[in-house]
Structure 1
């Protein structure tokens, strides 16, 4: 019917066009850099320099010899201490990922609405966002290496969850008083207060 035609014309077709153009451009870039449209430059880098595994369950390869001392120190010393294949090593890596995510996406300013996250879990309107974030973070949890920008595709979803958490915070009452409303209004002030601190902390 018309709703399906409208969806195909306004959503599915433009999305397909973007995916086709993006895939073709990426494949061309890979081909010009690595000689194959299916081989990423990152793969070439890892095959050339790195002996560490990518996923938690993989065993590392033997250390390599490098021409430059800085490369020797980075790959054969610093890399070696990042992760050890054990329960303790997995726990350390996972906690470090959570810490980096919290600092980058939330920090002290947005921690307050995140406290209301249990209510968001029961909110049907955020179910799709929660599923997307859950699947994405499950994939990140399998990797050894992590930087906050790895989660960049989830920025919109995470901020939407923060907004919904803030909404629940505004509705929270303590002893009949609209305490949540006052706390939600304090969040922008905390953000303004943290801005000069963050700028001053930069090297």
Structure 2
């Protein structure tokens, strides 16, 4: 029962953090579970039902009900996620390479136009050709591998062939390799690709790193040299981690845009009454430095952020006339 609950909890976390990538990661696990269940070494039906299927079903049913209720309250449809509404309302570029461009909507703010005509649209046009598709994905995968593994790429590169040979001939290694392949192939057909999209595969990354270190075997080298190289990788990893931690804790720049926004909000939260902040961006504004976002219950919020609407500001001010502008 413990493993069924754990499996269900893992799927629930993936479904609520990275739904698409979580689905790709779950497919090999579900397939392997079914193969094991139907094999001669599989459990008896009663044991499978009580120890795995029922606990798994309970966790997934509760998760699905909660997600459906959340969707219903926000979008009015149990199966329609808020992100889908956002994409259909503002985005032009699709999420997958086989999809077509959407009709351009009417934008009431320049910043929304600039976001929709930014990187995603450029990548979509680039991937219309085979050369562009290969170039984009090779660049992104290389950047992702270096960024996510950093110095731990050293043992993987040094023992790449041996690690692959182990994975190909080991049952659990083959499962990890299959899962890795399914997720990477799924990522390649996405138009936008950011490093956190591959977050579900992080554990398997370090599985291969540790296995490469375990299989490290320098030909014509002494045992001392092998141990020196392994400890050097670990030492470099520790240095990188300590360096990043030091930078994050000691270089606190109060001029960063999100800290300036937080300072304004904190100041107004302590002031009397309710407030409306009208934000106007300058020519050099970066579209991802977005000051305007509010909670779900806007009318009840103490501080509300709104974009400058020029001539339409009168309607905005009239609606929130009880607030300080």
Bin for the TM-score computed over the shorter chain? 0.7 to 0.9
Instruction: Decide which of 114, 126, 135 is 2:156's aligned counterpart.
Output: 114
Does 73-82 or 185-194 show the bigger shift? 73-82
| 1:179-200 CA distance string (max 9 Å, x none) | 4332222222101211244343
Q: Does 1:92 align with 2:138?
A: no
Change (3 A) 1:41 1:132: same
For 1:181, the equivalent position in structure 2 comes to 227
CA distance in 2, matches of 1:7, 1:176: 50
State the TM-score, normalizing by the size of structure 2.
Answer: 0.55
What root-mean-square deviation, in Å, do the aligned CA atoms of Structure 1 and Structure 2 show? 2.5
| 1:107-159 CA distance string (max 9 Å, x none) | 1x211121123222222141111111111111111111112222222222222
CA distance in 1, matches of 2:220, 2:85: 61
Residues 43-58 of structure 1: pairs in structure 2 closer than 5 A: 43-58=84-99
| 1:24-59 CA distance string (max 9 Å, x none) | 211111111111111111110110000101112333
Does 29-38 or 151-160 show the bigger shift? 151-160
Residues 143-154 of structure 1: pairs in structure 2 closer than 5 A: 143-154=190-201
Q: Does 1:74 align with 2:142?
A: no
CA distance in 1, matches of 2:107, 2:42: 63
Aligned 8 A contact 1:64 1:76 in 2: no
Does 89-98 or 5-14 show the bigger shift? 5-14
Does 87-96 or 183-192 show the bigger shift? 87-96
State the TM-score, normalizing by the size of structure 1.
Answer: 0.85
| 1:37-88 CA distance string (max 9 Å, x none) | 1111111011000010111233323444311111122212444323321123
Aligned 8 A contact 2:146 2:153 in 1: no
Does 16-25 or 132-141 show the bigger shift? 16-25
Classify the secondary structure of the residue corresponding to 2:98. coil
CA distance in 2, matches of 1:2, 1:69: 59
| 1:91-121 CA distance string (max 9 Å, x none) | 23202330342144201x2111211232222
Change (3 A) 1:112 1:6: farther
Aligned 8 A contact 1:55 1:143 in 2: yes
For 2:304, the equivalent position in structure 1 comes to none
| Runs (5+) with no aligned partner, structure 2 | 1-40, 254-325
Classify the secondary structure of the residue corresponding to 1:19. helix
Change (3 A) 1:63 1:100: farther
| Runs (5+) with no aligned partner, structure 1 | none
CA distance in 1, matches of 2:190, 2:119: 17
Q: Does 1:32 align with 2:83?
A: no
Change (3 A) 1:9 1:177: farther
Runs (4+) of structure 1 moved beyond 6 Å?
A: none
Aligned 8 A contact 1:54 1:145 in 2: yes
Aligned residue pairs: how many? 200
CA distance in 2, matches of 1:157, 1:113: 15
Structure number with greater Rg is 2
